[in-house]
């Protein structure tokens, strides 16, 4: 029968020897990228043709192997409505749509129309041009003279909506989407003739 004192000291020595090996193994796995799912595709350098810094959009693109684009480039023509979508491994990651309208809607009004019936909390930026809920953000800008999407009436408002399906916490999603919209809205409005 084994001596309990010797077994305990042998176990303690083995545990002490295994701790550094486990720590080094963990570091090697993290350094090699084996710590979890990875982004194995190049992030877009623009959204729907509008240049945007990749660091702004990185949080909204999930781990995966393949990215696909479908839809309109906002730089092609001055259509009243445009839409584009990005897929990662076949699943929608980010959708962007733009509309010129004869209505004088604010970003807060547009966000509230969808969020309130679903009992979602709506947020807005102090200037009122950006508002959203969950993984969706709206941005509005003045637009005049261009035909709108409403029976050829003059456009009064340009609206841009960005919806992200890959969001973390609501607060971090809000901050990130607000930054994306701030960067995207002026270029998208200009590209659409506003």
- For tokens 């929608």, the residue is 92
Judge whether residue 160 has pLDDT over 90: yes
- pLDDT value of position 2: 52
- pLDDT value of position 150: 61
Percent of the chain with pLDDT over 90: 49
| Contact in structure between 153 and 38 (CB atoms under 8 Å) | no
| Contact in structure between 192 and 78 (CB atoms under 8 Å) | yes
Average pLDDT over residues 131-140: 94
Q: Read off the DSSP letter of residue 145.
A: S
Predicted confidence band of residue 131 (pLDDT cuts 50, 70, 90): very high
Give the separation between CA 91 and CA 114, rounded to whole angstroms: 23
For residue range 45-65, list pLDDT tens digits in order: 999 999 999 999 999 999 999
Neighbours of 164 (CB within 10 A): 24
User: Which tops the pLDDT comparison, 10 or 175?
Assistant: 175
Question: Could you write out the three-class secondary structure of 11-22?
Answer: HHHHHHHHHHHH
């Amino acid at each position: 029968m084994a001596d309990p004192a010797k077994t305990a000291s042998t176990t303690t020595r083995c545990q002490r020897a295994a701790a550094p090996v486990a720590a080094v193994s963990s570091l090697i796995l993290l350094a090699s990228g084996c710590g979890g799912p990875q982004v194995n595709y190049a992030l877009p350098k623009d959204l729907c043709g509008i240049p945007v810094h990749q660091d702004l959009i990185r949080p909204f693109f999930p781990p995966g192997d393949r990215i696909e684009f479908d839809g309109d480039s906002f730089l092609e023509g001055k259509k009243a409505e445009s839409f584009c979508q990005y897929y990662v491994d076949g699943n929608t990651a980010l959708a962007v749509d733009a509309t010129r309208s004869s209505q004088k809607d604010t970003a807060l009004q547009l966000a509230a129309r969808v969020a309130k019936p679903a009992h979602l909390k709506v947020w807005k930026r102090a200037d009122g041009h950006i508002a959203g809920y969950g993984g969706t953000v709206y941005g509005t800008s003045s637009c005049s003279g261009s035909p709108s999407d409403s029976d050829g009436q003059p456009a009064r408002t340009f609206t841009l909506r960005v919806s992200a399906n890959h969001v973390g916490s609501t607060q971090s999603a809000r901050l990130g989407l607000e930054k994306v919209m701030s960067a995207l809205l002026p270029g998208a409005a200009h590209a659409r003739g506003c």
